[in-house]
Chains A and B, each alone.
Chain A
Amino acid sequence: MSVHDTLLNRLKRGCETMAYPKGPAPALPDRHGGALKVEAAKCDASCSACVTVCPTEAIARPAGKPVALDLGRCIFCAECVTVCPTKAITQSNDHRMAVRQREDLVLGDTGKEQVRLAQALDEKLRRLFGRSLKLRQVSAAGCNACEADTNVLGTIGWDLGRFGIQFVASPRHADGLLITGPVSKNMELALKKTYIALPEPRIVIALGACAIAGGPFIGHPQHHNGASGLVPVDLFIPGCPPHPLTILDGLLRLLDRLGESDARR
């Protein structure tokens, strides 16, 4: 095979980058576990089946209060959905889950049945980062699933570069920090140093259940149960790991780059 054949083959394939967000989002598998919805009003007050099956203690039922599910702690095993007798907890195929405030991931109460999706950055930051956002990635005890599905955004199908978003090789070149993993004690120093090395203004994104709250290892003494306690977080993207589409949605939402595709849904 000559160089010509290689090039010809590539040409024949044409552009393989998805149309999203201008066109429709890529189809997700039918078994994909998307965002959860909790309608505490439907919940049977004497039942706590969901609380006992949850592996990450993401569901709580404080005395006298309605059931609350913390999507930041959730690893999307959907065992609560299976055991709930009144269908108070349901799972959709919706990939959109990113939020700006940690408490916007707590579901259950009236008016708070679903995640309160992230608002874009304020105008000043949007003017700075909206068309060019350089990110430094720090894996702090991530299992390489969040990392792998972030890497996927750089492949030809997703082509993150077309939005001006790029992962850079030095914190000095970066506008923001994308953190994965529960932040092991052994990565605390490196994470803090990286954060400080970023020029201001800077943003921080916590990606995946581990970086938000500790994930499957929540409560263990070898790590910090996520990044929030060490650096201020501007965007939380839940999932274990989040689907690449969920990550992209979060990034574009933050930069107000989703346009009509979001309104269409």
Chain B
Amino acid sequence: MKRDTPFTLLTNGTALSWADVPEWPLAEFLRNVGAELGRGERLSSFFGVPEGDALRLVAVLAFDAGNTLAVGRSQSFSGSFPALTATHAQAHLFEREIWEQHGVVPENHPWLKPVRKDHGAGPAVGDFFRVDGREIHEVAVGPVHAGIIEPGHFRFQCAGEEVLHLEIALGFQHRGVEEAIAGGPHRATVYQMETVAGDTTIGHATAYANALEALAGTEAPLRAQWLRAIALELERLANHTGDLGALAGDVAFLPTASACGKIRGDFLNLTALLCGNRFGRGLVRPGGCLLDGDTERLSQLRKRLETALAEVQQAAAWLWDAASVRTRFEHTGHLHAKQAAAIGLVGPAARACGLVRDVRFDHPTGWHRFAQVPVSVWPDGDVFARARVRWLEIQRSGDFLREQLDAVPEGETMSSLPALAPNSLAVALVEGWRGEVCHVALTGADGKLRRYKITDPSFHNWTGLALALRGQAISDFPLCNKSFNLSYCGFDL
């Protein structure tokens, strides 16, 4: 679908020359981005590229209905720029991040605070939005949580049991991922990409590999693309199954909780069967896949997959049939489709609000160009819907894997990676189990990575959790939180 836009269009997993990215004066750039967002397009990535003492802004938009991406950039500027957030909530965290990373001020930003770090030394807690009144009390949770969970701070404004507002302050996990890549790729870069969010190793490593392959003007061998697609669905199966179990656990429905805890491990062990590591470390590399699956290994995978799928089917049946579960899941943590679209929600959380958005479907790349996965959507926007979408996706992933493992493509799994094209920009989106993983890579004149921007789906979705809590009982926070199950380190980078 072609339509009139000043942006340059490109498809997922491709690169273009930096010179071909249209450049406008700052005001015009922001007007153009705003106009596309006003048409309902999605902001996949929005970041700064330093040029001397000045800065350029780059926007990557996703035209989901048109199955295409669009890029544009501003001329370099310094000082400040009028915030898009004032009219387009999708830009909210991106503009805070630009301010934090580069010091330019988004003027009239309604909530300008650090994203990951205080500009002094401490973590990103600071002045919170406060509700005043005699009945109001404030609850502070974190950074260290009451379990084996990553750290983050939650600040609730409550009237009795009811949450009026939740503010989520992250940044405790900040490791400096983007800074570490600059001037690379370095020897450690691919290992760092595998740990951007450790539970999304395949998702992030594939996005990184796709971006580098696009810059090198090459493509991984087909069998490697196929293996990546297999591993991506195994990652989804493990995490979705774990989430169903955890959701069951949060409403004290133990049969599904204990069964899913074990089955999740069975799926992780399938990834380990492929590459030795339960999280998929060491499998995906720029240029292909480091390891291959021989016939015997793949037939074992197929067999064990059936067992695990049958078990998760059983565990899910208990869950859906229990009236006590339905009463707790339904109408809890509701998020309206309009809100979800406004904040740019992605992944299962967005699909659970009825939004049809899935990178595998909208922006197919790699093996997904040849084998589609239907988009799983549920309209209600509550905990039930988020659980239900996961269950639908477990089934679709199972079907996909069955189909793919019965028709194994032949050939190599690794090819050498040519040098990266200088002064080029590549965009790679992957539908990780939490949603859209977006990597944007920009090379300099020396063919080294000059700027590397990572957007984990959690970057879009934490705001969704905050909104879903409004009007809820604070005791439902764990359940709502689990229904999103977002990444702290993927957000904090």
Contacts and interface: CB of A to CB of B under 8 A. Distances in A.
Interface string B30-73: 00000000000000000000000000000000000000000000
Interface stretch (B255-263, B370-378, B382-390, B464-472): B255-263
A145 B143 contact: no
B111 interface: no
B139 interface: no
Contact of A186 (B124, B255, B265, B318): B124
A155 B173 contact: no
A32 interface: yes
A78 B290 CA distance: 12
Nearest to A182: B175
Contact of B261 (A145, A146, A156): A156
Q: Is the interface of B mostly helix, strand, loop or mixed?
A: loop
B261 A155 contact: yes
Contacts, number: 180
B150 interface: yes
Given A187-B143, A194-B144, A156 B191 contact: no
Pick from B171, B191, B488 the residue with the most CB of A within 10 Å: B191
A194 B149 CA distance: 15
A184 B258 contact: no
Contact of B262 (A16, A77, A140): A16
A143 B272 contact: no
B176 interface: yes
A31 B269 CA distance: 11
B148 A186 contact: no
Nearest to B275: A31
Nearest to B152: A139
A78 B265 CA distance: 24
B277 interface: yes
B276 A144 contact: no
Contacts of B196: 143
A125 B434 CA distance: 43
A184 B149 contact: no
A19 to B, nearest CB: 15
Interface stretch (A40-48, A107-115, A213-221, A249-257): A213-221
B164 interface: no
Given A138-B151, A169-B147, A149 B173 contact: no
Contacts of A240: 195, 281
B192 interface: yes
B192 A190 contact: no
A185 B274 CA distance: 36
Interface in A112-143: 136-143
Interface string B234-254: 000000000000000000000
A243 to B, nearest CB: 7
Given A56-B188, A137-B148, A152-B265, A216 B276 contact: no
Nearest to A137: B148
Given A32-B276, A55-B191, A187-B151, A6 B255 contact: yes
Given A143-B198, A143-B199, 18 more contacts: A1-B318, A6-B255, A31-B274, A139-B488, A142-B198, A144-B199, A147-B150, A149-B278, A152-B261, A167-B147, A186-B116, A187-B123, A187-B151, A190-B144, A194-B144, A215-B195, A221-B176, A241-B279
19 contacts: A29-B273, A32-B272, A54-B187, A75-B281, A141-B174, A141-B492, A154-B261, A184-B174, A185-B121, A185-B174, A189-B122, A189-B123, A190-B123, A190-B143, A190-B144, A218-B188, A220-B176, A241-B198, A243-B278
8 shortest A-B CB distances, which residue pairs?
A31-B276, A143-B198, A145-B198, A169-B146, A155-B261, A222-B176, A143-B195, A186-B123
Interface of B: 116-117, 121-124, 143-144, 146-151, 171-177, 179-180, 187-188, 190-192, 194-199, 201, 255, 258, 261-262, 264-265, 269, 272-279, 281-282, 291, 314, 317-318, 321-322, 487-489, 492
